[in-house]
Structure 1
Amino acid sequence: MKRANTYTAAVLALLLIVGSGCKESYFDINNNPNSATQSPAELVLPSALNATATYMNTSFAFLNLWMGYWNWSGNYSIGQQDKNYQFTTSFNNAIWNTAYTRLKDYNYVETQGKSRNQPYLQAIGKVMKAFHYQILVDTYGNVPYTSALQGLSNAQPAYDNGQAIYESLMVQLDSAQTLIQQGNTRVGNGETSLGIGNNDVMFKGDMGKWARFTNTLKLKMLLRQSEKSDRQAYIQTQLAKLKASTAGFLRAGENASVNPGYINSDNRQSPFYGTFGYGVNGATVENYNLYRANKYAVDFYRTTNDDRIGFFYAPVAGTANFVATNFGTVNPLVNSQTSGLGSGVLVSASQDAVVLSSHEALFLQAEAAQRGWISGSAQTLYESAITESYRNLGVEDDQGTAAQYAQAYYSQAINNVGWTASTNKIQAIITQKWASLNGFSPFEAWSDYRRLGLPAVPISQEPSTTIKQIPVRLLYPQTEYSYNSTNVAAQGTVSQFTSKIFWEN
C-alpha cells in the first residue's frame, strides 16, 4: 500500500472511457456475467486488474475482525451475526458474485489472446483466473468450474470438487508459464506486437514479474496443502516443476499491486484508502469510524517492541497511546478513546492497491525453505520478509531506514520475533506473516489460521457466540440457492463450522 508513482494521463483517460457509467468503479467494464464483452481484450485487462485489486482491498473487512486486527467501534450498534459467526446465506454474497464477474473478464482476455495469437494476453488471463478460482475454493470448497463462465448457454453450472479444481489450476499456471516463454522467444526474435505495456496496470508489461507471480501463486497453493498427508506425493511432484523453473518467485520490492492512476477525486481514489480512510473532502468515511484497532494485535505489537504499531494504527486523538478492545467485547469504547487505522495503510488517495504483497511472497518462500521444499536460507527469507513489511508500511524517518528498524526488531531475543530465539520456526514465520498482513491481506491470515491454527487469535467475546470457533468457510450465497438450486443442493448441508475446505485438517 505504498504511495504510487504517477501513471500516464493517457492511460488514465483511456480507462475512464472504458469504465464510464459503471457502478462498481470508474474502471470497471462489465458487471453482467451473462452479457458479451465488446471491448478489445487490451482494454478489458486494465479494468479487470483494477477490479481485482478493489475486490482484494475491500471485500474482506470481516476477516480483519476475525483475525484480531480490527474491532467494531463503540459508536455503533452492531448486529449479533456480525460478532458471533452465526451468519446466513446472505452474508457477503458479493465475494462469490464479484469473483465470477471478474472470471468472465479474464476468460475473455484469455480466449481473445489465444484467437489473436497473443501469448502474453492469454497467459495473464490464465493466471488471473487461477488467482480468483483459488480464492473461491479457499472460501467455499466445491464451486462451479468446468461448466462455469458460459453465460446463458449454461446459467446453472454444476459444481466441481475443490481438490480437482486446484489440480487443474496448477496445470493452467504451468501453461501460462509456457505461453510467457513463447512470447519471450518471439520478442527476442524481434517481434514488436506482443507487448502489453500500459494496459498492464499491475506489472507494467514486465513479463518476468508475471512469471514470478505465477510461481508464487503455485507455491501458495502447495503450502495450503502442507498438512494433508495424502497430498505429499502430489506436492513433491509439483515442487519438482517449480525447482526446474528459472523464473523464481516475487522478490523484495516486487509487490503485485495495481495503480491505473488513482487520484483524490470522486470514484477515483485508491480503493482501500477511499473505502476505509478518507473522502475526497478529507473527512473520514463511515468505515473509518466503524472499524477500530483490535487489542490482540495492539498487544502483540506493543509487547514485541514493534514500530509498525504506529503505522497500522493511529494513536488516540491528543495522545501518543494506542488503545483497543477485543472483537465482540460487551464493553466497546467510543472512537475518542480508541485507535483507528494508521498512516502506513492509509497513505494517500493515490496509493497502490495491493493484490499480493512482496512481504507475503517472501514469507511464503521462508516457510517453503524451512520445510525443505525450495532452496535458500529460511532465516534470510524470514528476515527479508519482515524488512519488506517495514518498507511497505513506510517505517522510516530521519533516525533510520526501514531496513534498520526491521533489523533492530528481528534481532531481539523474543520468541516468534528473533529467529534464533524462536523454538518453532514455522510458528515464528506464520506469526510474523500474520503481523505483516494487517489490512493488507486478512484472507491469507485466515487461510493460515485454518491450516495451522496460528496464531492463537481469540474467539469473539460476544455472549451469543455459542460455537467457540472461527468459521472454516463461508456459506454458499443466497444467489446460488435462488438461481442454481439443484446444483448447490447437491453439495449437501453446509456448515461454516464443520464443512471444511479439502486442505483443512
Structure 2
Amino acid sequence: MLTKKLALGSLALLLMTASGCKDEFFDVNNNPNQVTAATPELVLPNALANTATYYQTSFTFLNLWMGYWNYSGNYSIATSDKNYQFTNTFNQGVWNNAYTNLKNYDYIEKQALAQNQPNAQAMAKIMKAFHYQILVDTYGNIPYTNALQGLTVAQPAYDTGVAVYEDLFKQIDAALALFASGQTRAAAGETITNPGVNDIMYQGDINKWRKFANTLKLRMILRQSERADRQAFIQSALAVLKASPYGFITTADQGATINPGYTNSTNQQNPLYATYGNGVNGQPVENNNIYRAGGYAVNFLVSTQDSRIFGLYNPVSGNAFGATFFGTISPLVNSQTSSIGPGVLQSPEQDAPILSAVESLFIQAEAVQRGYITGNAKTLYESAITQSYSDLGIFDDQGTAADYARQFLDSGNANVTWDVATNKLALILTQKWNSLNGTAPFESWSDFRRTGIPAVPISQDPSTSIKQIPARLLYPQTETQYNETAVKAQGTDSQFDKTKIFWIK
C-alpha cells in the first residue's frame, strides 16, 4: 500500500523541455483451430489470456503519444515512435495477433454452437466484438464478413468501419439473447454447460458478462458521439441499451479483468509487469529502464496536487519526480527521471484489466452528461476517481482511498472539482485520461482522436516537420503481402488520414 500524501507545495518537479536545441504467459500465436478435439471451455482460458497480453502490451507507443511516458536519455531510440513517420512494419502485431486470437474465439463460437453450449458461444461473440472494435478504431476498414475463413477465403474483402460497428451491436445483442436462452433452458431442467473456472475473467458469472457487453456497447456509442451523421444510429442503439435490465460495469464488479493464475515464474508473470516491471529475479527488465515518466502527465499531476502520482511513478528522491516531455532532443537520464510506479506495476500476480471499473464509470459519466442515459454524472465522475485512487493503492493509514480522493475532489481546482469546472465534458475526459495513465492508453488515444481532449502536446523531436499525432496505424506489411488487392482497394494509406476512422469528427 502507498501511504504517501501529496501535500500542497510539497513536490519538487524536475521537468525539462529541451525543444530548442517480454516474457508472456501464453504465446499469442498459439492457434487452437489446429487442435480439432479441443472443447470450447478448454480453448476459452487460452484465448482470454491472449487478449490480456494483447491489450496490456501492444500499445506502448500510445503511452508516449498520450504524454504518460517518455524514453530514457540512457538509450538511443529508434525515431519512428517519436517523429510519427513510420512504415507498414510498425507494430504489425496489433493486426496480426488480433486476427490470430479472433480465430480462437471464432473456433469457440462455432464449436459451442455445434455442442449446444450457449454460454461459451455468447462469451466468444462478446470477445470477438471487443477485438473487432479495436481493429476498426486502429485501422478503419477491415476484413470482417469474410474474415477468419482460412483458405476458404484466403483474401477477404474489407468491410467499412461503419458496417463492422453496426454489426457488432447485433452480435452483442445475439450474445445477450444466448445467455437468456441458456438461463431459460436451465430453469426448465436442461443441462447447460457453464465454463466456470475456465472463464478466467468472470469465472462463469453471466451477469458480469452482461454488464461487460452493455459497457462495450456504450463505449462504441460514445465513439460516434461527435459525428452528426451518426446521431440516428446512436438513438436507435440507445433505445435497445436503455431497455436492457443488466446495467454497466460498476465498482462492485471490479471491471473486466483477466488472470489465468499469474505468478512470479518464468513466462507466467502478469504480461504488463513482465514487460515493464521486474524479472523473476526481482531485477528491472530492460523496458523498465527504457520507459520513464512523461513530462506532460507529471506536470498535470503536480499542478492538480494529485496523490496518484505516487502510484503512477516512483520519485527520483523524496517527493521529487523527474520527467521529460516526449520527443525532446535530449531526454533526461534515468538518475533524473521517475520510473513507472508501483500502482501500475504492482506485482507479477496482478490482474490484467481490459475494461476497468474506472473506465466504465467515466464512460457512464460522459453518457449521462450527454443525455444518452439517466444517472448522476457528478456521482459517476467522483466514483471513477475514487476507484482510481483505490486501484493505484493510494490509501491512508486506515487502508482506504476515499479520504485522499475526497480531498482531491474538493480541492477547488477547475481541472478536478465538479462544481468549479465550467465544461463538464472536458472535465470528465481530462480526468479519464489522467486515470488511465499506463494501463489503457488505447482508450485515451481514442478519446483524443474524437474530441481533442486533453490537448496532449506533440512530439518535440526535431527530425520531423509533422506536427500531429497519427489518427491511425498503417495496414501491416503482412496484410499487403497476402491480401494486396483488398488493401489497395482502401485507397492511399496514411497514418494521418482521419477519414479512415469513421467516428473521427
* Shared fold, TM over 0.5: yes
Shift of 1:260: 1.1
Residue 106 in structure 1 maps to residue 89 in structure 2: no
Shift of 1:206: 0.5
Percent identity, please: 61
Shift of 1:211: 0.2
1:270/1:351 contact within 8 Å kept: yes
Evaluate the alpha carbon distance shift between residue 233 and residue 301 of structure 1 in structure 2; reply closer, same or farther with a 3 A threshold. Answer: same
Aligned to 1:16: none
SS in 1 for 2:353: strand
Alignment of 1:362-401 (within 5 A): 362-398=361-397, 401=400
Q: Distance in 1 between matches of 2:176 and 2:114?
A: 18
Aligned to 1:272: 272
Q: Distance in 2 between matches of 1:395 and 1:184?
A: 40
Q: Distance in 1 between matches of 2:62 and 2:115?
A: 41
Task: Compare 273-282 and 153-162 and name the one that shifted more.
Answer: 153-162
Alignment of 1:131-210 (within 5 A): 131-210=130-209
1:382/1:429 contact within 8 Å kept: yes
Q: Quick one: which amino acid aligns to residue 313 of structure 1?
A: Y
Q: Distance in 1 between matches of 2:473 and 2:92?
A: 10
Shift of 1:28: 4.5
Per-residue CA distance 1:392-416 (angstroms, 9 max, x = gap): 1111131561112111111121112
Q: Quick one: which amino acid aligns to residue 89 of structure 2?
A: S
1:25/1:51 contact within 8 Å kept: no
Q: Quick one: which amino acid aligns to residue 205 of structure 1?
A: G
Residue 285 in structure 1 maps to residue 285 in structure 2: yes
SS in 2 for 1:324: strand
Shift of 1:37: 4.8
Shift of 1:192: 4.5
SS in 2 for 1:396: coil
Per-residue CA distance 1:284-323 (angstroms, 9 max, x = gap): 001100100001000111111101000000011x433111
Q: Distance in 2 between matches of 1:430 and 1:454?
A: 6
Aligned to 2:243: 244
1:127/1:214 contact within 8 Å kept: yes
Aligned to 1:304: 304
Shift of 1:189: 3.4
Aligned to 1:262: 262
Shift of 1:190: 4.1
2:71/2:291 contact within 8 Å kept: yes
Q: Distance in 1 between matches of 2:49 and 2:81?
A: 28
Per-residue CA distance 1:175-199 (angstroms, 9 max, x = gap): 1111111122233334454221100
Q: Distance in 1 between matches of 2:186 and 2:26?
A: 29
Aligned to 1:123: 122
Q: Distance in 2 between matches of 1:231 and 1:88?
A: 32
2:32/2:38 contact within 8 Å kept: no
Task: Compare 251-260 and 183-192 and name the one that shifted more.
Answer: 183-192
Aligned to 1:5: none
2:84/2:470 contact within 8 Å kept: yes
Evaluate the alpha carbon distance shift between residue 472 and residue 29 of structure 1 in structure 2; reply closer, same or farther with a 3 A threshold. Answer: closer
Q: Distance in 2 between matches of 1:24 and 1:90?
A: 22
Aligned to 2:230: 231
Q: Distance in 1 between matches of 2:78 and 2:225?
A: 36
Aligned to 2:483: 484
Aligned to 1:69: 68
SS in 1 for 2:80: helix
Q: Distance in 2 between matches of 1:170 and 1:164?
A: 10
Q: Distance in 2 between matches of 1:184 and 1:193?
A: 8
Shift of 1:458: 0.4
Provide TM-score, normalisation by structure 2.
0.93
1:33/1:151 contact within 8 Å kept: no
Shift of 1:330: 1.1
Aligned to 2:10: none
Aligned to 1:323: 322
Aligned to 1:475: 474
1:119/1:182 contact within 8 Å kept: yes
SS in 2 for 1:355: strand
Alignment of 1:356-505 (within 5 A): 356-398=355-397, 401-500=400-499, 501-505=501-505
SS in 2 for 1:323: strand
Q: Distance in 2 between matches of 1:193 and 1:147?
A: 30
SS in 2 for 1:50: helix
Aligned to 2:9: none
Q: Quick one: which amino acid aligns to residue 291 of structure 2?
A: Y
